[in-house]
């Protein structure tokens, strides 16, 4: 498996599990910075590699009246300041071609949103400019179909790729995780990340907004670590009941230490067992 460098971090087989975490969307700079600082300190205390994530524009909200974020120009500057001031790598997603050039100058990882993972022109332009590309597997895709997306990125000479599993459509307003997808995706030779919080989302489940089952996140995160992953993706908030986006599937910040301690122990056990194989 390829090892991908994200800032000073290494993501891939044989490397420690990487935490990718942050709020769904930038609500304002003060809150976003406070979350990033908490996560940085927690990750350092627990000796877990950390990448901060937050979106500047949630262009795929259920309702046109829903909060989308501060927009590209303000949002990317907030991420730039957090990256520089806290000395942490940052990840965010792009939805429009106009965003890619400047985003690539600042972001350590550019994410292809799940709903846009088949948009060829967007993917190849991101591949040409991004340091690292994180492909969110669409809810509508089989894991083996991700190979077509990989080929689009690789066609532009960029092999710094992460693949993120985030659940599969299961009837209406529901997702399910088929854990077979994790080893299938890893066979493609690139690090695989498990998005435990979007995997418990209930898309459009509240009519004009998505619902979620955050109480199920720890179970899925533990299971994914046992199957074998290279990174864990979590959306977090000090008070998800007041979050402006994806609150029902976001975790409370103060629940993270116990979850990360358990997931890290499982990951360590999996790595130890691998090292013992003849």
> Which pLDDT tens digits describe the chain residue by residue (278 residues)?
899 999 999 999 889 999 999 999 999 999 999 999 999 999 999 999 999 999 999 888 788 888 898 999 999 999 999 999 999 999 999 999 999 999 999 999 999 999 999 999 999 999 999 999 999 999 999 999 999 999 999 999 999 999 999 999 999 999 999 999 999 999 999 999 999 999 999 988 788 778 889 999 999 999 999 999 999 999 999 999 999 999 999 999 999 999 999 999 999 999 888 877 76
For residue 275, give Cα distances in angstroms to 4, 99, 206: 21, 43, 46
Of 230, 205, 213, the C-alpha closest to 19 is 230
| Residue 250 structural domain | 4-276
Q: For the chain, what is the domain count?
A: 1
pLDDT tens-digit readout, 142-171: 999 999 999 999 999 999 999 999 999 999
Residues 256 and 218: their CA atoms lie apart, in Å, by: 10
- In sequence order, the β-bridge partners of residue 194 are 165, 232
Helices (H), 56-119: 72-86, 97-106
Residue 124 φ/ψ, nearest 5 degrees: -70, -35
Burial of 60: CB neighbours in 10 Å, binned 0-12, 13-18, 19+:
middle
Of 58, 68, 125, the C-alpha closest to 98 is 125
- In sequence order, the β-bridge partners of residue 239 are none
CATH code for position 243: 3.20.20.70
């Amino acid at each position: 498996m390829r090892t991908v460098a994200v800032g000073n971090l290494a993501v891939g087989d044989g490397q420690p599990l990487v935490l990718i975490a942050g709020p769904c969307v930038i609500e304002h700079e003060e809150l976003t910075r406070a979350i990033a600082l908490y996560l940085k300190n927690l990750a350092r205390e627990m000796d877990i590699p950390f990448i901060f994530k937050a979106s500047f524009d949630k262009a795929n909200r259920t309702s046109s009246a829903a909060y989308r974020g501060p927009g590209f120009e303000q949002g990317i500057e907030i991420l730039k300041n957090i990256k520089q001031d806290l000395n942490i790598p940052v990840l965010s997603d792009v939805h429009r071609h106009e965003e890619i050039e400047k985003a690539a100058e600042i972001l350590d990882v550019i994410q292809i949103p799940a709903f846009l993972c088949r948009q060829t022109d967007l993917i190849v332009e991101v591949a040409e400019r991004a340091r690292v590309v994180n492909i969110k597997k669409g809810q509508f895709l089989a894991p083996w179909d991700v190979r077509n997306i990989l080929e689009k990125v690789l066609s532009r000479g960029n092999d710094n790729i992460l693949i993120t599993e985030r659940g599969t459509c299961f009837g209406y307003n529901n997702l399910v995780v088929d854990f077979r997808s994790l080893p299938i995706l890893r066979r493609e030779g690139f690090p695989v990340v498990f998005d435990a919080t979007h995997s418990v989302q209930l898309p459009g489940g509240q009519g004009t907004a998505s619902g979620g089952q955050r109480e199920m996140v720890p179970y899925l995160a533990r299971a994914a670590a046992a199957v074998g992953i290279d990174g864990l993706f979590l959306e977090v908030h000090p008070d998800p009941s007041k979050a402006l986006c994806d609150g029902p599937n976001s975790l409370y910040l103060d629940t993270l230490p116990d979850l990360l301690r358990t997931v890290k122990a499982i990951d360590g056990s999996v790595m130890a067992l691998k090292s013992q194989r003849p």
